[in-house]
A and B are shown apart, each in its own frame.
Chain A
Amino acid sequence: MDAFTTHTGTALPLRRSNVDTDQIIPAVYLKRVTKIGFEDGLFAAWRNDPNFVLNLPQYAGATIMIAGPDFGTGSSREHAVWALQNYGFKVVIGSRFGDIFRGNSGKSGLLIAVVDQKIIEELWDFVEENPAVPITVDLVGRQITAVGFHSECEIDDYTRWRLMEGLDDIGLTLRHVDQIAEFERTRPGYKPKTLPAKVASAS
């Protein structure tokens, strides 16, 4: 994963609450076996509407999404994160996120910045009035700034550190492989194993 310290880009206001991952990318687009090419499914159902914010010319090229409360709820599909990234988004700012979506974002390098819903309302107004003004999201200083705008944002320490260092989670865990092996040695023998396979006799 590439290291992430700060990002500057224009933003897009998504004035909707409860945008579940089925809306971010409908199931029919989940059939690919790669992590690329999901941008065509991003908000697929809403993109038919010429007035949908993704279709508005003033927000073309935006890399920061200002989302409503409870963004990314529902299904665990990491394809939702890939779709946002494939489309070009680097940061999503919001007040509340689905847990799994937020976790998936951290793993894939999409920055989730949390601010109060009041700040979201201010950002929506700011971006609608100033769609071409670049916004900077500073992971190091946990700040969102633009000419004429400033706010602190929340990013948990651990995710922030991993993103800043561009660390591979699995590599980090494998540094403790001896402790995993030790834990495995002490696991009770009655815990189930999938192998060798046992099945019921045919009924």
Chain B
Amino acid sequence: MGKTLSEKVWDDHVVRTADGEPDLLFIDLHLIHEVTSPQAFDGLRQAERTVRRPDLTLATEDHNTPTLNIDLPIADPVSRTQVETLRKNAREFGIRIHSLGDLDQGIVHIIGPQLGLTQPGLTVVCGDSHTSTHGAFGAIAFGIGTSEVEHVLATQTLPQARPKTLAVNVNGELPVGVSAKDIVLALIAKVGTGGGQGYIVEYRGSTIEALSMEGRMTICNMSIEWGAKAGMIAPDETTFAYIKGRPHAPEGTDWDAAVGYWRTLRTDPDAVFDAEVDLDASQLTPFVTWGTNPGQGVPLGAEVPDPEIFAEEADRTAATKALEYMALRPGQKMREIRVDTVFLGSCTNGRIEDLRAAAGVITGHHVADHVRMLVVPGSARVRLQAESEGLDVIFKEAGAEWRAAGCSMCLGMNPDQLAPGERAASTSNRNFEGRQGKGGRTHLVSPLVAAATAVIGTLSSPADLTGTR
């Protein structure tokens, strides 16, 4: 019997296997940031251990970093200490770091691919659950905790039980105005936040093959939101073209050897997945969330559901609690929900293509009077690229705020936060209670919906703006 993509990559990284024990996997790329690493470095020092492979490790600052006045010291002393601790640890252990103000600083999951370090067939880990993003290149990429960060620093390996395999087959042509974000939000609503637990997922099918690398990263990024260990997409010409010429892309004969290997990274025709899920992309419409987990979503044209429609008691309770927190009532039209803030950015939708898509919608319009819009590029280079294309001018002329790179409002760790009761349409990945600031209310949306919502002031699609709906 043939192998699936994930089985091939997994098998190529097994250092040691033994009955009754997890496989010991070699890790090709370890990304670190300031929040989940300080205690790991402390552990190394206490045990008098060192970093085994600084040459496979990369650090950046993203979670705590402000997106305004980045030339000044970080105002919050606790945040500043955490960032300075990362800098000190990087220096002490010889780890490359891209600090605030550096051209290559940015959200950890944006800069890996941007530098060409994220490549097919790798194992990639980071103390961050959205590490699944890198699976878009055909890598096995997953988030780990701080104990595991320490483990990888010390050994460049991780003991891991082999997950089961799941195929998500997405076929059909995406309708106009529907993007990768809508695919993954619709998928999570269908399978639930626990639907992927215990699986490495492979997204496949004609719709996935037609997506850009940015779109593929958006989908793989949210694999963790339905509980999957990792999400992957088989590398193809789109992948190779994206990597070629990037700073750390292989060159010359190395390129040929690498591409030769990468071409083998496809699920064999006779391979069998442990489970499969099908999604018809041609039937999708823009998708938005109404609740407090990413599975609580509906098409934009739908209404806030009645908790009573859910079969499971736990789901009914969760929906009731979510509606109370979100201050919504069953039957309310999603399109009539008025927002205070629009956040465009994050490791889900903070890449250049996302900014271009939103700019395309917002050109010639103005953000509604009662709305503030934050546009936060995922990395310093995305920001520069956008500025070279004049996107910053489009956003600023529309009345949006143009910020410096970082995680920003995706999570309430830096100054960009929602106030209690404030409602946002966000292109980020989590609508958990308080995620974007204590008491804040989040609707997850695509960049296209974010832009249209900013202009109209209620949850909207670009078609609402052009009157073509």
User: What is the interface of chain A, defined by CB distance below 8 A to chain B?
Assistant: 15-18, 20, 22-23, 26-28, 30-35, 45, 68-70, 73-79, 81, 96, 98-100, 103-104, 107-108, 117, 156-158, 169-170, 172-174, 176-177, 179-180, 183-184, 187-195, 197-200, 202-203
Q: A76-B36, A100-B144 are in contact. Are A17 and B315 (CB under 8 A)?
A: yes
Q: A173-B151, A180-B156 are in contact. Are A192 and B119 (CB under 8 A)?
A: yes
Q: Is the interface of A mostly helix, strand, loop or mixed?
A: loop
Interface check B154, CB cutoff 8 A: yes
Chain A residue at smallest Cβ distance from B248: A192
Q: When chains A and B are docked, how far (Å) is the Cα of A35 from the Cα of B161?
A: 26
Interface check B370, CB cutoff 8 A: no
Interface check B307, CB cutoff 8 A: no
From B148, B246, B248, give the contact of A103 (CB < 8 A): B148
Q: A33-B81, A35-B39, A192-B119 are in contact. Are A203 and B388 (CB under 8 A)?
A: yes
Query: Inside 8 A of A16's CB, which chain B residues have their CB?
Result: 317-318, 321
Chain B residue at smallest Cβ distance from A157: B20
Q: When chains A and B are docked, how far (Å) is the Cα of A202 from the Cα of B385?
A: 11
Q: When chains A and B are docked, how far (Å) is the Cα of A31 from the Cα of B127?
A: 14
Indicate if the CB atoms of A180 and B155 lie closer than 8 Å: yes
Indicate if the CB atoms of B96 and A194 lie closer than 8 Å: yes
Chain B residue at smallest Cβ distance from A201: B247
**Smallest Cβ distance from B46 to chain A, in angstroms?**
11
Interface check B91, CB cutoff 8 A: no
Indicate if the CB atoms of B413 and A31 lie closer than 8 Å: yes
Give 6 new A-B contacts, CB below 8 A, not counting A17-B318, A73-B193, A190-B261: A33-B81, A45-B433, A104-B147, A180-B156, A194-B117, A202-B103
Indicate if the CB atoms of A26 and B248 lie closer than 8 Å: no
User: What is the interface of chain B, defined by CB distance below 8 A to chain A?
Assistant: 15-16, 20-22, 24, 26, 28-29, 35-36, 38-39, 42, 47, 49, 52, 54-58, 63-64, 76, 78-79, 81-82, 85, 96, 103-104, 115-117, 119, 122, 127-129, 143-148, 150-151, 154-157, 159, 161, 193-194, 197-198, 224-225, 227, 229, 246-248, 250, 254-255, 257-258, 261, 293, 314-315, 317-318, 321, 381, 384-385, 388, 411-413, 430, 432-435, 438-439
Q: When chains A and B are docked, how far (Å) is the Cα of A87 from the Cα of B146?
A: 19
Indicate if the CB atoms of B127 and A99 lie closer than 8 Å: no
Indicate if the CB atoms of A96 and B147 lie closer than 8 Å: no
**Smallest Cβ distance from A174 to chain B, in angstroms?**
6
Query: Inside 8 A of A107's CB, which chain B residues have their CB?
Result: 145, 147-148
Indicate if the CB atoms of A173 and B317 lie closer than 8 Å: no
Indicate if the CB atoms of B257 and A183 lie closer than 8 Å: no
Indicate if the CB atoms of A23 and B247 lie closer than 8 Å: no
Q: When chains A and B are docked, how far (Å) is the Cα of A32 from the Cα of B315?
A: 35
Indicate if the CB atoms of A76 and B128 lie closer than 8 Å: yes
From B82, B116, B225, give the contact of A33 (CB < 8 A): B82
